[in-house]
Chains A and B, each alone.
Chain A
């Protein structure tokens, strides 16, 4: 271990250090046999001497690097590493979506030492490997992977789920799906495992080896393809899961010391100690944003899944929600918040006070534990913070005379009420307010996919108003397409454009409707990255900007920029153009070159209040300067309810 850590210091050794030993380390699957038999041919390189003979494909391209310094790399756990068919990741079948990009990039960055045919042979080999390996393991895998996979599949099949309903639907529909694992599904699974291995390698040399590149693909793919290709996306989803698990496992074994993730060292340390998840290692990160916790791109998912039955202190409902956050299946402030509250509700229902403890205290700490778990899966949004604060204050205010069951029902109904009043009803009120601002002949612009804005547009359409919608979208999430689809299906006339073209479309726009993740006391709107530029352009064109946001998302914090608090997305997501090999210019960078590359994928930005004409909230339409008034009044209210 130590040796490996040290080896990290030498940048090129890094990949070796991680990946060889890890992947094998804890794969319980018995798959290894087949590939291992095939591996030897490649093991003649100096690197593979120290590696297991099994490790055919990865060393192949690594061998160049490995050449000099393999000595430093001890390889524990190699014995059972046979299954390491990391190879699988390169198998062509998987590339339904992004056909040949991975191989190409690969070939590009190794100096083609082995030539094209060797790599071809390699594919072939890997193919066979995959069959050998994945079939037997299928049953096993299914048991663990099943659930999330089916969720993903369900999502893929309903490209237009209403946000809040979506997860209910998922919950209900995931069961039947679980039961019937068709051949196709199993197949998908196998492929996913293969992908997993590829990714595991990729993950391992995250720090900038070429291997890092392909890993991002499986991650990114699913959301984009969702509406178009259900099958493909389900495969992709399963792949992602597969990827994650193997990586996760290897991660568990040995971790390089992560970079500082909190400004406060002690807090950081505490967080680390408590964390269920392993912190992803540091990679090339933009200096200004080093204080933000690095993106956990779903790599931890399988690890968590495997722990599903071990971590008893986490209620399964909470666990499930956490996994959904992690996988990115749940997004959108309201959806996340509702899911969390409902999970808590379930947890509270199943809760029983341990002997010699009081409900108030024990439950609070329990909720605290859940919350910290959720934070690990994905940083909380402000709205969730507010909801948690509400719940905790409710718990704290429970009269001591209440019996346990009474207390539990009170809390559950409180949560229900919160969801109803602060989210569902609030949205309805916002709809009505905002619709008064839509006139016939308007051209409304919206950015990304905000569920409130979507509801407003549909509502106004129902009212028979004649207007046009411009949906502005941006990479890498392309959430706007989801919205676009739903609007077009409902018969609205839409224009779709990318953020780059915003100044071109803005002159014909008469109103800009934006959603928000949170609004701070100084009127700053914290929302999906790109919102600020939309608002600024609109301001420059003197188009009124309406921000639609439920009052429970208001926060008393003051934030001036989007640096202090933010969330990092998957850095690889922005360097890739899915499905377009020819434009993935960043793929074939050498290690050294990659060291000069810092990728920054921010999730949020802050829009100064100057650019906002009005905030439409459940308390009516207010200027951004009145946010603190609402916060003041509202806080009173919800602490007292």
Chain B
């Protein structure tokens, strides 16, 4: 396999021999599992991946990256989320706060989701926070009802977005469940809610960082990682690994029809990570060379399976049959109380697909944008709650919602 090719390892080792002296402190804390470390020569065996990552993450969102992403997002406004909102023209949001009289959650939400680095769930929660700000309610009950209406309309606006639904549910859960709210006077309770909503954005950033750190242990030197589509978390993971000076190769699928794989390969190339671009149908062909599959998720469902961009299921099937691990990187706010039994058990999320040539009207086109990968094909989930097996998802959901 690739990492065993001597030339590569030698190349790299020469580079790394000029690295830092061993840090005694980190020696104790270094955590890469031995099974992965022993088979290959870790160029810097004594540097704790954990602390390196942490250090690297203080400057994780560079302005350069933001600019890049901004330009990318104007092309594909909702890549991470499988919202079938292509047909919809997102109305230009009327400012960031609740400054306009004709306040609409949806406008608010849309303005938030325009930000490239903001997850949909965060945008939803920010939008709900704006509802609180704009609200004329004088009692907690009124406010709750108003919030409920707003979240319902948000959910109805885009029923296909799982993280939107999950975000709304999560926030509503907080509102109804937080006992502290009941003992405070209305204004401070309201303030607390807004604060919480503001914080949620941070939490979501932090979640990505945590996931990236946790997943470092699984990326060993010389490994080949297959990724599918573009996911911010996956990018974060890979970026962190690259910053940790891990040597790995990434195979990016093309990600038809919106070609999100191209974007990811673009990002990775900037990080100097060796990238190979595959067409989506070449997954099985290349699976022999692959050591692990890493995908993001639009939503993690109660069974522990994931809903993700079309093609994830087949990749999982191929890698399962070839005994390659499939890792999923997903923030915990993507956990949703859904339980699809099969592919067709979800509301359809459609999108237009451009084949480049006109398609005769008699020919039907499968337009679904996402598929469901059952838990038995997933190895582990990297979440901000820790590295979980698929079955723990339901455990967390039960604790959260029951």
Q: Is the CB of A626 within 8 A of B402?
A: no
Please state if A625 and B398 are interface contacts (CB–CB under 8 Å): no
Find out whether the CB atom of B304 lies under 8 angstroms from the CB atom of A619. Answer: no
Residues of A within 8 A of B342 (CB): 544
Complex CA distance for A622 and B303, rounded to whole angstroms: 7
Q: Is the CB of A437 within 8 A of B341?
A: yes
Q: How far is the CA of A626 from the CA of B400 in the complex (A)?
A: 14
**Number of CB contacts from chain A to chain B under 8 A:** 47
A9 to B402, CA, bound (A): 61
A626/B395 in contact, CB under 8 A: yes
Q: A582 on the interface (CB 8 Å rule)?
A: no
Q: Are B398 and A623 within 8 A (Cβ)?
A: no
With A629-B394, A633-B398, A633-B402 known as contacts, the answer to whether A623 contacts B303 (CB < 8 A) is: yes
Distance between B362 CB and nearest chain A CB, rounded to angstroms: 23
Bound: A25/B150 CA distance, A: 81
In contact, A625 and B394 (Cβ under 8 angstroms): yes
Contacts of B303 in A (CB 8 A): 613-614, 623
B339 with A625: CB separation less than 8 A: no
Whether B402 lies near A546 (C-beta < 8 A) is no
Min CB distance, B340 to chain A, in Å? 9
Residues of B within 8 A of A544 (CB): 341-342
Is B76 part of the contact surface with A, judged by Cβ < 8 Å? no
Does chain A have a CB within 8 A of B280? no
Cβ-neighbour of A511 out of B304, B341, B395 (below 8 A): B341
Partner of B402, one of A614, A619, A621: A619
Verify B398–A629 contact, CB threshold 8 A.
yes
Per-residue A-contact encoding for B294-327, CB less than 8 Å = 1, 0 else: 0000000011100000000000000000000000
Q: Which residue of B lies closest to A637 (CB)?
A: B402
Selected from A437, A613, A626, the residue in CB contact (under 8 A) with B394 is: A626
Q: Which residues of B contact A625 (CB under 8 A)?
A: 304, 391, 394
Collect the chain A residues with CB atoms within 8 Å of residue B201's CB: none
The verdict on A519 contacting chain B, using a C-beta distance below 8 Å, is: no
State the Cβ distance, A70 to closest chain B Cβ, in Å. 67
Chain B residues, CB < 8 A from A626: 391, 394-395, 398
A620: which of B337, B375, B391, B399 is its contact (CB, 8 Å)?
A: B337
For B25, the chain A residues whose CB sits under 8 A away are none
In the complex, the answer to whether A613 meets B402 with C-beta atoms within 8 Å is no
Q: Majority SS of interface residues in chain A?
A: mixed
Cβ contact within 8 Å between A613 and B341:
yes
Could you tell me which residues of chain B, from 86 to 133, have a CB within 8 Å of some CB in chain A? none
Asked, given contacts A620-B302, A625-B391, whether A546 binds B341 with beta carbons under 8 Å apart, the answer is yes
Q: Are A623 and B302 in touch, CB under 8 angstroms?
A: yes
Select from chain A the residue with minimum beta-carbon distance to B342.
A544
Does any Cβ of A come within 8 Å of B345's Cβ?
yes
Shortest beta-carbon distance from A415 to chain B in Å:
24
Residues of A within 8 A of B345 (CB): 437
CA A619 to CA B395, docked complex, whole Å: 12
For chain B, residues 21 to 78, give those with C-beta under 8 angstroms from any C-beta of chain A. Answer: none
CB-based contact A622/B394 at 8 Å? yes
Which residues from 501 to 559 on chain A have a C-beta closer than 8 Å to any C-beta of chain B? 511, 544, 546
A47 within 8 A of B: no
Q: Cα distance A613–B345 when bound, in Å?
A: 13
Number of chain A residues whose Cβ lies closer than 8 Å to a Cβ of chain B: 16
A629 to B341, CA, bound (A): 21
Chain B neighbourhood of A629, CB < 8 A: 394-395, 398-399
Tell me whether A630 is interfacial, beta carbon within 8 Å: yes
- Answer whether A623 and B391 are a contact pair too, CB < 8 Å, given A629-B398, A630-B398: yes
Are the C-beta atoms of B304 and A621 separated by less than 8 Å?
A: no
Chain B residues 361 to 402 lying within 8 A of chain A, measured CB to CB, are 375, 391, 394-395, 398-399, 401-402
Residues of A close to B304: CB separation below 8 A: 623, 625
| In the complex, chain B residues whose CB is within 8 Å of the CB of A619 | 398, 402
Pairwise interchain contact B341-A614, C-beta atoms closer than 8 A: yes
**Residues 436-467 of A at the B interface (beta carbon under 8 Å):** 437
Could you say which residues of chain B place their CB within 8 Å of the CB of A614?
303, 339, 341
Contacts of A621 in B (CB 8 A): 302, 339
Chain B nearest Cβ from A125, distance in angstroms: 65
Produce 1/0 per residue, A608-639, CB < 8 A to B.
00000110000111110110011001000000
B341 and A622 form a contact (CB under 8 A): no
- Determine the residue in chain A with the shortest Cβ distance to B376: A610
A437 to B401, CA, bound (A): 21
In this complex, which of A544, A613, A626, A630 has the most chain B Cβ atoms within 10 angstroms of its Cβ? Answer: A626
Which B residue sits closest to A544, measured CB to CB? B341
CA distance in complex: A97, B27 (Å): 84
Instruction: Give A630 to B345 CA distance when docked, in angstroms.
Output: 25
Contact between A623 and B394 (Cβ–Cβ < 8 Å)? Answer: yes
Q: Note all chain B residues with C-beta closer than 8 A to A620.
A: 302, 337, 339, 398, 401-402
- Inter-chain CA distance A629–B401, complex, in Å, is 13
What is the distance, in angstroms, from B386's C-beta to the closest C-beta of chain A?
16
What's the Cα separation between A544 and B303 when bound, in Å?
Answer: 13
Query: Smallest Cβ distance from A185 to chain B, in angstroms?
Result: 52
- Most chain B CB within 10 A, of A614, A623, A629, A633, is at A623
* B285 CB, min distance to chain A CBs, angstroms: 26
Contact B398 A622 (CB under 8 A): yes
Residues of A contacting B399 in the complex (Cβ-Cβ under 8 angstroms): 629, 633
Quick one: closest A residue to B375, CB to CB? A623
Residues of A within 8 A of B339 (CB): 614, 620-623
Quote the shortest CB–CB distance from A444 to chain B (angstroms). Answer: 12
Contacts of A633 in B (CB 8 A): 398-399, 402
Q: Min CB distance, B166 to chain A, in Å?
A: 15
A623-B345 Cα distance, complex, nearest whole Å: 16
Rounded to whole angstroms, the CA-CA distance of A223 and B399 in the bound complex is 44
Q: Which residue of A lies closest to B345 (CB)?
A: A437
Distance from A545 Cβ to chain B, minimum over Cβ atoms (Å): 9
B100 to chain A, nearest CB (A): 38
Select the residue from B375, B394, B399 with max chain A CB neighbours within 10 A.
B394
Most chain B CB within 10 A, of A546, A629, A630, A633, is at: A629
CA distance A546 to B339 in the complex (A): 11
* Contact partners of A511 in chain B: CB under 8 A: 341
How close is B129's CB to chain A, nearest CB, in angstroms?
A: 28
Q: In whole angstroms, what is the CA distance A629 to B396 when docked?
A: 9
Residues of B near A630 (CB, < 8 A) are: 398
Per the bound structure, the CA–CA distance linking A544 and B395 in Å amounts to: 21
Residue of A nearest to B344 (CB): A439
Can you identify 23 A-B contacts, CB atoms within 8 angstroms? A544-B341, A544-B342, A614-B339, A614-B341, A619-B398, A619-B402, A620-B302, A621-B302, A621-B339, A622-B302, A622-B339, A623-B304, A623-B375, A623-B391, A625-B394, A626-B391, A626-B395, A626-B398, A629-B398, A629-B399, A630-B398, A633-B398, A633-B402
Q: Which 3 A-B pairs have the closest CB atoms?
A: A625-B391, A544-B341, A626-B394
Interface residues in chain B, defined as those with a beta carbon under 8 Å from any beta carbon in chain A: 302-304, 337, 339, 341-342, 345, 375, 391, 394-395, 398-399, 401-402
Binding site for B on A (CB under 8 A): 437, 511, 544, 546, 613-614, 619-623, 625-626, 629-630, 633
Starting from the known contacts A619-B402, A626-B398, A629-B394, 17 additional A-B residue pairs (CB-CB under 8 Å) come to A437-B341, A511-B341, A544-B342, A546-B341, A614-B303, A619-B398, A620-B398, A622-B398, A623-B303, A623-B304, A623-B339, A623-B375, A625-B304, A626-B391, A629-B398, A630-B398, A633-B402
